[in-house]
Structure formats: structure tokens, C-alpha cells
Structure 1
């Protein structure tokens, strides 16, 4: 897909539809003290998915220093809600240098670096992503040169989301929670869609736009995403939706029979997508299972009628430890044989945050990962 033209055309259509010129936006930014800054229009307008009530999100690149605690200025102008946020050009340059280094890492390193990014960088992920696709008054997208890096990193995170939802769907099925299993399957399918869209260069982490972009890409660029994967993921989504609503859906290549069929379909999609993002890293296979206790004691848990709670002297409560559970399986396939009670306890531990199943746990601490990436 011709992304520079795609972004430019979307901006032109958005501004025309709103009846506002880029110069008006520049004047608004100038009144806030950013007259000398480079102005970019970002977010939903550049992606062609803005609604009549969407905000107009502007980023100003300033040559001088900008406080990292700077908040966006909210402006109401002729019925438009405009958000203006400044960043120092030097901070942006430093962020993209670190971003490029991270993109060269193995899957689990990209994943860990992505998850820890906001803790260690002045430019948060949300705005870094917006900058990549931001468009200037001249119709240029100056940071689109970082599109491939962004696609590679975000795809790693989407795969991890898919991976975690597959594990939780398996556990929910074993624990006798069919509704929860369906919800995890839907989340897994959404992550698979976002992964493929990201791999194709169209990165937008906000999940509320995923289905719309998934449908749009088939019309905008039919060959951009593998046809077989597109068909299988779309069929899985429709079948889980119809099963949840009680309406049978017979179309599509994936059986609409038992819930295990849909779980198997997500597992096959998981296996195929791993091949796209893994770069032959032997650390991770399609059957890798990571169940790791949280580094800190979990003080905040979801209340249910099945868990026992302990109270510490400070008054906090936490789920009973599952560290003493019988030996857990070493791979995802082994989850199919867990006793239901054990599956339910592990699931509660994951939901409460006492345990994690992210692939990022294959690395050590955040500090170690930052050192690895820097090296």
C-alpha cells in the first residue's frame, strides 16, 4: 500500500469534511506559544477512520526543551475539539534512535522493551506511534521512515497478547468457564488481526479501530495480508461471536462445532503467526508456556466466591499462593490435561496479577533488558 499517499489523502478528506484548513490549526498552535514549532496532524484523521466527533490531535515539534510533564492543551474551536501537545525535537530524535535499536532485537527482547518503554523514555508509546504516521501542512509524513521498525516491535506485542489469550482460553475451557473462554478467543482473534495489520505497515494500537481497519484493508489493498490467514481469522471471529450470541454460523473453513474446535483454530493461527514474528529465535516455540509468579506480592485481587484470601498487617489482601500447586505442565499442550480445579486456581492467579504468562518473562528484570537492548 502507498502509505504516504494514503495518509495525505486521508488528511485532505478529513479537513475538507470538517470545513477547516491546516492554516487554522497552525494559528491555534501559534496562540498557544508554538508558532515556530513543526506541526503534525495525527491519530484517527490520518488513518482515514475519524468520525464526526473525533478529536483533532496535533503534535508540535519544538526546537527548545519541553517539560516531560507537559500536558496537552485542550481547545474548542468552531465546534471542533483540538488537542495540542508539544515535544522537544531532541527528545523525539533520541526516542527513535532507541526505537530502532529495539527493533533489531529478538522477539522476547522487542516485547519486553515495548512493555517497559514508557517507564524509561520521555516520549510515550502512544505519541511515538502517532508521530510515525503524523502529517504536516505540506502533506509530508516525516517520521514514516520508522514505519518498519514500529511494525516489527508492535507485532511482537500483539503476538504476546494472542499468546496470553490462548493460554487463558485453554485454562477457562478446562475450568468449566465457557463464556470466559469465548471472550479470550475473541481477544486472541483481535490480537491476530492487529498483528497482521501491523506487519503490513498499518500500526494503530487502539483496539477500538481494529475491526474497522480489518474490513477496510480487504478493500484498500486486497493482497496486503495473506488470504488464508485473513479468511481463517475472520471465520474464527464470526463463529465465536455467533456461538456467544446463540446464532449458528455455518460459513467459513473452520468448524463451528464444539468450543474445542474454535480453540484449536486459534492455536493454529498462533502457530502460523509465530513464524512471521519470531525470526527463528529458539527461545520461543508455538508450544512455549510461561507461568511465572509476579515479582511483587499481589495486593489487589478480583473477588470471587472460590478463592481464599489472606490479610497482611497493612490490611492488604491477596489471593492464596499457587506456588505450592502440583507440578504444572511444561508446555501449552499440557494445559489440556490439567485437573479442572487446578486450571481454575491458575486462572485466578493470572487474573489477579499474582502470576503472569507473558513471553516477556523469558527475560530477566526490566533493568537487565534495558542493558541488553542498549548493548
Structure 2
């Protein structure tokens, strides 16, 4: 099974929807009819291409993946005003889905597949990317009679010679072009660097035009596919839009032209289409990839130049030329649709095809020079060359032009906003995460985002003189997410499990990544049913297959209900009567064979319809039985299960951070998600058991992390001279290590009171995954039986913590989580002088007096977990006091080293 993910840059849902309903996009019609079509909210607060693609590809927002604009402010080497490309190899901070999935992939001009050394991951079968290696942008020269002359196309010299009816161009290839004879591909070197050339007659003049030049890079393990990619037409990444805007090819329609300038511009975009179509065909001709990602830029190109003239909600709208322009836009979208149709034709019945876009597009009519207004108010400074000087400015709109407004002094932002509001432009201000600021002077931010009305686009460039609001010739835009539905991206999909004709309403553009993950892993989950449960090696004699585990749990449920004289069908009918139809799961202790005659019956119900707000369980008392049921929707459960698999694929520290923040963001919550994965229907099925490996991985890592924290506290307490506190932390370490190892073996149950009973059951069964795990389990069991003795008065001076630290590190190694663990302290606030020989640490809503603390220990850098015992008594006590008060936190980092060959 293959998932094909086709990306149309800036394909606005409103444009696609309108064209499809007009019958202009037959491939999109196939998706709408046989699958689903929906609008998708783009990245915020900035929705330029890099942050929007990062959101699309990672399933996270810019606050998480770190790409905040076409260039990212403050990330360069030259201070606050510097900025670097959002497409740089150091971005995004969250890996794209293909990296977390690790499945075989093929990529057509997709960012963040190659690293800074032009290498690709082992999962890449074949990839081509050229945008990061542009040699020169498009250019034009006049063809004049006379002898042949040299014309430099970037670093590549070509010979240009006028002929009677055209022009002859000699490079690595030689071509003869005639006016209005169309574009021809030309190789400039023998290393497959090329461009596209055209000769055009403008009045009495003949002009020779070339598209931009890029040097593609290739990588991957599928040599045959890479060879086909290299044999494709020269890369063309964009049309000649700036030359069209400058009316190099004649007057635009908007200024009274006859349409020939638009036709020539569109013909240059067609070169891009032909370039991308050939490499797409090369992939479709034969591949073994599980995921194919194809990026197509044409819709963005034409949208920037023309879409505003057709946007009836924009001041750029021109009813006199709207129909003519709409026809041209439709032609470009049809090129993208035709490539999508080729993908649909190549897809097999069990394949999935997803159409997505990074963002939409709004019409826009005015360019706003924000920094000129700040310069005039004495807030921003210019250098000797008349350019913005961020280092000498008190406030400035960042040169990254991503919407970010910076101030360098506390308390200055309200004045800056007031100065900008003097411009005749409707504007709002946003938090860096895209939320509207509550009031003009709330807080004292150093950075905020300015969101102009859609008809006004910001620029960091200086006009030099009034007016600071000027006409905009590039009439389609997408900079700051204003909330306009015209900025919604298109999202469509067809494939297994996607209901035909479904229209889910507006979704977040984080959702497509989850869909792709779900569809890619669907086949691997099916395959997993045929293998030993939880990846145990084939010679592991007691491993349970999913079918065997389902049968065992179904028997637990049957026995429990029989013992309570309850009929499963009667229960199903009662629940349907009381709470409505849906998939009913019995959860908790009856499933795990731990229930007793007085245990409650806890149910979870999954329904199709959406549910808003927090969940409150319904309590039912019937014939002496206490039943509880809580309901969730299919959509939110799908989102949770996708997130569970994403977290399981992350490095351990990121897994733990994700699961710890789960309950603040998600329904069902952690506990309920575990219950659903383990739940059994009244018919004895376990419909969500496929997600148990992901749940087990996530929960095992979380429990191990908890154990490592408790082991660290035990070491600090012992070093500080405590005799009883260290024992409590030691016992907590054991309990969490039990849960970590139980989960590592696929036995996940979030109720803590059952940890020890389940552990003793596992020890009795002796079903360990390997000898290394069995060894640490034996040590754990020995310490469990002896820990209480540490409370005896005779044991007060005997070292204790070292054994538990060592055990926690051994479990981390045995489970493959990490080969080393380091810790460091993070103060949650400010440490201030208080009384003689004492300081006050205030932060995170907590405060604590720290005797003798001039600084908080372990904040300078991480140390090994075992090194905590080397702290002096006073430092250990100081840190432990701060941690207990909640005014500091202990951060744990993992190291994983591959064994030497």
C-alpha cells in the first residue's frame, strides 16, 4: 500500500471549490465524490510557505516546529535583526512525518528531506530537490542584429546570435527560437543544469528570456528511480512574474492591455508544470515507496500575480477583467489537476491519495511600509545607506517580513502600536502564538505580530518618503493569518477508511499529517497482527499474538459478567437506551482479569457525532449494579490514536513531554485513551488493540522517566542527610520501574493500585522479552523485597540511593531507551537575596527560602544521574527544597549510542 501526498502550493479552498463545481477539475471531483474535501486553517500567526509547509508536514503549529516565516527572525549570526531561511536544514524543530514514520519514501522537490550535507535518511528511496540551489533568477536580453555575442546566464556563458527569423542560442545544447514559438528546454552544462528559453516580439523588439536556473540534488537507495529523475526535463521552479509585473512583455490587462502579457507569463508557468510533470511521471513509472510526496508550485505562482483581480471581497477586484483572469487561473489549476489525475490513475485500490495545500490566498491592493512610520516617530533608525538599522532601533518591523514587530525596551510596545495605528490601515495585534492580544496594553511583550486587513500587506522595506501606503502590483498574498476563510488551504483525500462524499467542515492543517500517518501505518498494523505481539523475537515462547490476547481478555470479561449474573446483550441494550447508539467498550479491571465481585462496570462509548466540551460520565444504577459510561467522538479518538503513534516514534524525551502535556489539550485523556486501546466490546472484540504497541512504548517511557526522577530525588535526599525521605523516593522508583517494565511487555494499565499485583503476576509468569530485561527484573524484585528494611534504625547510615539509581539506569539501557541519562536543574523564577545567608526563589506560582543559596545547584549544565551523590550536603538539600516547593524542576536528557561494529 502506498500513500500519495500531493501538495498544491497556495491552493485556496475557495478557488478549488469554485473551479471544481464549474467542472474544471475532474481529478478533484473524483476525490470529492469518492472521498472527502474540506477547507483547512493554515499556520498562525504567519502563513507564508515555510511555516505553513512545516505545519502541514509535521502536524504541529509554528510554536512547536519553530518555523515562523519565510525567513526566521533572530536565528542568524548578526543579532536581533538577522534572519535565516525557514527552509534551512536546522528546521523544523519537530521532524516531518516521513522521518518519524521511517517508511520507504519518494520525494519530488519537498523541503527538509536533505540535510545540510546533501544527505538523506536511510528511509529515502529517491528524492530530488532544487529550490535550495538557485544559481540565478530569470532574466531578459534584447536580440539585436550583428555578430554572435556572449550572454551570461548566471555563471554559465551562452552564445546568442540573431537569425533572419529568430535567434540561435548555443550552450551545452544548441536551439533556434522564433518569436512567439514557445519555450524550449536547454541544458547549460553536462551536469544536468538547464533552463528554459523563449523569444518574444514586443513591438519592433525581439527579447530573449530565460527562466531561473537551479542545480538539483538527488539522493536515495533506489538507483533506477534516481536515474529516471535525472533524465527529466530541466528544472523550472517558477514563472517570470516580476518581469510580467514590470510590463516587460506588454501592458497588463489591469492597465488596459490585450491579454498577451498574461498569456506569456502563463506560458512561463507552463514550463514549471512540464518540469514537475516529468519527474512525477518518473516516480509513477515504478517505485517501492510506502509514501510518495509530490510538491507542485504553479498555483502559488499564478495566485500571487492574478488572484486579487478575481477576489470579489478584495479592493484589488476588477469586475471588468475578472472573467478573463479567472480563465487563466483555471488553466493553471487544471495543469495541477491533470498531474493529480495521473497519480489517481496510478494508485491501486488499497492506496491512499491525499491532496493538500500549505495555505490559501487573499486578494490585496496596498503595500504598507511600517518601518517608515516608526522612523518618522523616532522609534526606528536607518543606517548611512538609508536602510533599516535594527541594532540602533528602539522598535522595528522585522526585516524577515513575517509580521513580527519588535521593541528593545520594556513598556514601549503600547506606544509603538499607537504610532502604527496612525496609518490609515485597519490592523490588529496578535500574540506570537497567533491569539489576539486582549486589550491594547496587556502585558509588556517585546514581540507581537501585526495583522493588517487582508487588503494591506506589510513590508519591512523603506519607502523613504510619504505616502507609506502605496499600490500593490502583486495582488495575491498570504503573510499573517488574519482569520479569513480565503486563507484556508484545500484538503482532500480518498482511500481505505475514508468515507465517500464526506465533508468534515473546517479542519486544522495539522490534521493531514495525522491522516497520512494513519493511512501509512494501516498496512503495517495489519502486518503486525501476523507477527509476535510487541515485537518479541520469534524464539520467545510465551509471546501472545493480538488474536490470543483478545481471546484472553474476552474470557476475562465473560467470566466477570457471568459472576455478576449479567448478560452482555442486555447490557448493550441498556446502554443504548440510556446514552444512545455507539461502539460500547467495557474497560478497566475486568478486561485485565483483576476485578472482584464489588468492582464497578466502567464503559466508554464511541459515537460518530462530534462532542464539545469536557466529558462527564453518566452514572447508572440498575438492579444493584453501578455502571458508568463516558462518551467520545470518532474524530477526536482518531486524532488521539494518531498522536499516540506519533509520540511513540519520537525520541524518549519528546515522547515524555508529549504525553505529560496530553490532558491539557486532548479528549479522551491519557487514562481514557489507555482504557479505549485495551477495551473489549460486548461481542468479545478488541477493536483498538492495534494501538497497544504505541501505547506501550509511550507509557513505558513515561513511567521510566518518572522512575528516573524519583531515583534522582532519592540521591538528593540521601546526600542531604535524610534517612526516611530517601526511602519513600526509593519505593516510588521501584513502583514506576515496575510499570515501565510491565508496559514494555505490553501490559499497560494506568491505575496505580494494581502495579504491584500485576508485577508479581509477571514475575510468576517469567515471560521476559530477553535475558537483559530478565536480569534487571531480578534486581528490581530483590530490592522490592528489601526496601522496607531501610526504615529500620540500624539502616539509617547505610547507603541506599546508589542501588536505585543504578537500577533505573539499567532499565533505561535494557529497554533500549537510552545508554546514558543526565540531569540538570531549571529554576522556575528569580533567585533573590533575602536574609543574611539565605535567598528567596520565587517562580511558577511558588516560593521557597533557600538557606545559604547564592545560586541554585545544577543549573550550569547537565551531570550524570549517578553524579548527584557527589554534591555536598548543603547543595543537595538546597536543590531538594526548591524541587519540593515547585519553584524549580529537574530536567532529564537521554543519550543513545549505537554499539560499536
Q: Please indicate, yes or no, whether the TM-score normalized by the shorter chain is above 0.5.
A: yes
- Please say if residues 710 and 733 of structure 2, whose CA atoms lie closer than 8 Å, have aligned partners that are also in contact: yes
Check the 8 A contact 1:217/1:224 in 2, yes or no.
Answer: no
Equivalent-residue separation in structure 2 for 1:279 and 1:308 (angstroms): 38
Alpha-carbon distance in structure 2 between the residues aligned to 1:149 and 1:110: 11
Tell whether the 8 Å contact from 2:582 to 2:605 is kept in structure 1 after alignment: yes
Higher relative contact order (CA 8 A, sep 6+): 1
Q: Distance in 2 between matches of 1:112 and 1:223?
A: 28
Separation in structure 2 between the aligned mates of residue 76 and residue 86 of structure 1, nearest angstrom: 18
Q: Deviations over 1:221-262 (max 9, x none)?
A: 54457332222111101111233367x9xxxxxxx99642x4
Quote the offset at 1:40 in angstroms. Answer: 0.5
Q: CA deviation at 1:111?
A: 0.6
RMSD: 2.9
- Please report how far the alpha carbon of residue 159 of structure 1 lies from its aligned counterpart in structure 2 after TM superposition: 1.0
- The CA deviation string for residues 155-202 of structure 1, in whole angstroms up to 9 with x for no partner, is 111111111011100011011111110111100011111001000000
Worse overlay, 4-13 or 236-245: 236-245
Query: Within the alignment, does 1:355 sit opposite 2:888 as a pair?
Result: yes
* Structure 2 CA distance for aligned equivalents of residues 179 and 87 of structure 1: 44
- 1:236 pairs, out of 758, 761, 783, with 783
Match of 2:729 in 1: 184
Is the Cα–Cα contact under 8 Å of residues 587 and 603 in structure 2 kept in the other structure?
yes
Q: Is 1:47 equivalent to 2:578 in the alignment?
A: no
Name the SS for the 2:627 alignment partner: strand
- Aligned in 2, Cα 1:311/1:277: closer, same or farther, shift over 3 Å? closer
Decide whether aligned partners of structure 1 residues 325 and 135 sit closer, same or farther in structure 2, where only a CA change above 3 A counts: closer
Give the Cα–Cα distance (whole angstroms) in 2 for the partners of residues 230 and 257 of structure 1.
Answer: 26
- Aligned equivalents of 2:554 and 2:876: distance in 1? 50
Tell me if structure 1 keeps the 8 A contact 2:842–2:848: no
Structure 2 SS opposite 1:149? helix
Sort the Cα spacing of 1:286 and 1:63 in 2 relative to 1 into closer, same or farther, 3 A: same
Question: In the alignment, does 2:685 pair up with 1:140?
Answer: yes
Structure 2 CA distance for aligned equivalents of residues 317 and 102 of structure 1: 31
Deviation for aligned residue 1:205? 2.0
**Based on CA coordinates, which of the two structures has the bigger radius of gyration?**
2
Asked if 1:289 corresponds to 2:791, the answer is no
Contact 2:553 2:680 in 1 (8 A): yes
Gaps of 5+ in 1: 249-255, 299-306, 363-375
Structure 1 position 264 matched with structure 2 position 809? no
Question: CA contact under 8 A between 2:719 and 2:871: conserved in structure 1?
Answer: yes
Q: 1:259 to 1:75 in 2, by over 3 A?
A: farther
Counterpart residue number, 1:273: 811
Per-residue deviation, 1:317? 6.4
Taking structure 1 as reference, are residues 310 and 352 closer, same or farther at Cα in structure 2, changes over 3 Å only? Answer: closer
Moved more, 318-327 or 125-134: 318-327
Cα distance in 1 for partners of 2:706, 2:748 equals 15
Give, in angstroms, the shift of residue 335 of structure 1.
2.0
The residue number in structure 2 matching 1:158 is 703
From the superposition, tell whether residues 310 and 16 of structure 1 become closer, same or farther in structure 2 (CA, over 3 Å): same
Distance 1:193 1:203, change over 3 A: same
How far is the alpha carbon of 1:33 from its aligned partner? 3.1
SS at match of 1:178: coil
User: For residues 22-49 of structure 1, what are the alpha-carbon distances to aligned partners after superposition, in whole Å with 9 as ceiling and x for unaligned?
Assistant: 1232133122231x21111001110111
Aligned to 1:65: 610
Mapped contact 1:112–1:360 kept (Cα < 8 A): no
Instruction: State whether structure 2 residue 841 is matched by structure 1 residue 332.
Output: no
Q: Quote how far apart the aligned CAs of 1:271 are.
A: 1.9
Greater percentage in helix: 1
More displaced 10-residue stretch of structure 1: 215-224 or 262-271: 215-224
Distance 2:562 2:642 in 1: 35
Residue 310 of structure 1 and its aligned partner are, at CA, apart by 8.1
Where does the alignment leave 5 or more consecutive residues of structure 2 unmatched?
A: 1-543, 832-837, 896-901
* More displaced 10-residue stretch of structure 1: 271-280 or 130-139: 271-280
TM-score normalised to structure 2 length: 0.35
1:345 aligns with 2:345: no
More strand by share: 2
Match of 2:847 in 1: 318
Work out which of the residue numbers 558, 562, 565 in structure 2 matches 1:19.
565
* Matched-pair contact (CA < 8 Å) for 1:106–1:278: no
1:70 offset after TM fit, Å?
Answer: 2.7
Q: Which residue in the other structure is 1:83 paired with?
A: 628
**Residues 340, 275 of structure 1: alpha-carbon distance in 2 compared, 3 angstrom cutoff:** same
Describe the SS at the equivalent of 1:140: coil
CA distance in 1, matches of 2:564, 2:792: 38
1:7 and 2:553 are equivalent in the alignment:
yes
Cross-structure match for 2:667:
122
Distance 2:849 2:743 in 1: 39
8 A Cα contact 1:292 1:356, kept in partner? yes
Partner of 1:97: 642
